[in-house]
C-alpha cells in the first residue's frame, strides 16, 4: 500500500518537469524564431566595399559587408539591427538609400529584403526620415 503514494509523487514530478520543459521550449522558440517586421534605410554615405567577414573566434570566413542599421517597426519603435551580406559582388548588396524590410526576432535577423519607400508604414518612415 505504500507504493501508491510514491508512484503518484513520481508521476507529479515527471509531469511538472514535462510542463516546465514545454514552457521553456516555447519561450526559446518564440524568442529565437518568431520575428517582427522592421524597416530601415541604408545611409546615403554607407560604404559598400566588400570586406572580410569573421566568425566569433576571429577566423576569416568570407568576403561581404556587415550592416548595422537603426530600424523601426510599424509603430515607430526603434531597434538596432545587425546582419551581414556575403559575397564579393557589391552590386548585390543593399545600396545606399535603399529601404529595407528586416524580419528580426529578439535574438537574430531572420531575413532582409530591399523594398520600395511606399511599402514602409508611415510611422516607421517618419522615424527613418527624422534620423
| Mean pLDDT on 47-68 | 93
Same domain, 56 and 98: yes
Same domain, 30 and 71: no
Per the structure, how many domains does the chain have? 2
pLDDT band at 2 (very low <50, low <70, confident <90, very high): low
Same domain, 42 and 97: yes
The answer on pLDDT for 10 being more than 90 is no
Q: Three cell numbers at 97?
A: 538609400
**Per-residue pLDDT tens digits for 112-130:** 999 999 999 999 999 999 9
Question: Measured between alpha carbons, how far is 15 from 91 in angstroms, rounded to an integer?
Answer: 55
Quick one: 25 exposed, middle or buried, by C-beta within 10 A (0-12, 13-18, 19+)? exposed
Domain that holds residue 50: 35-130
Smallest Cα–Cα separation from 103: which of 86, 125, 79?
A: 79
Same domain, 94 and 50: yes
Residue-by-residue DSSP string for 14-64: HHHHHHHHHHHHHHHHHHHH--EEEEEE--TT-----EEEE-TTS-EEEEE
Count of CB atoms within 10 A of residue 59's CB? 8
Same domain, 18 and 39: no
Amino acid at each position: 500500500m505504500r507504493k501508491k503514494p510514491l508512484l503518484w509523487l513520481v508521476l507529479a514530478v515527471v509531469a511538472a518537469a514535462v510542463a516546465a520543459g514545454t514552457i521553456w521550449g516555447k519561450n526559446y522558440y518564440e524568442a529565437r524564431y518568431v520575428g517582427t517586421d522592421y524597416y530601415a534605410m541604408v545611409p546615403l554615405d554607407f560604404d559598400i566595399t566588400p570586406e572580410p567577414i569573421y566568425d566569433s573566434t576571429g577566423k576569416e570566413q568570407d568576403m561581404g559587408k556587415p550592416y548595422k542599421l537603426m530600424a523601426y517597426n510599424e509603430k515607430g519603435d526603434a531597434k538596432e539591427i545587425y546582419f551581414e551580406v556575403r559575397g564579393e559582388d557589391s552590386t548585390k548588396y543593399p545600396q545606399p538609400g535603399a529601404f529595407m524590410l528586416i524580419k528580426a526576432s529578439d535574438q537574430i535577423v531572420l531575413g532582409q529584403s530591399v523594398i520600395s519607400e511606399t511599402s514602409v508604414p508611415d510611422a516607421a518612415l517618419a522615424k527613418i526620415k527624422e534620423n
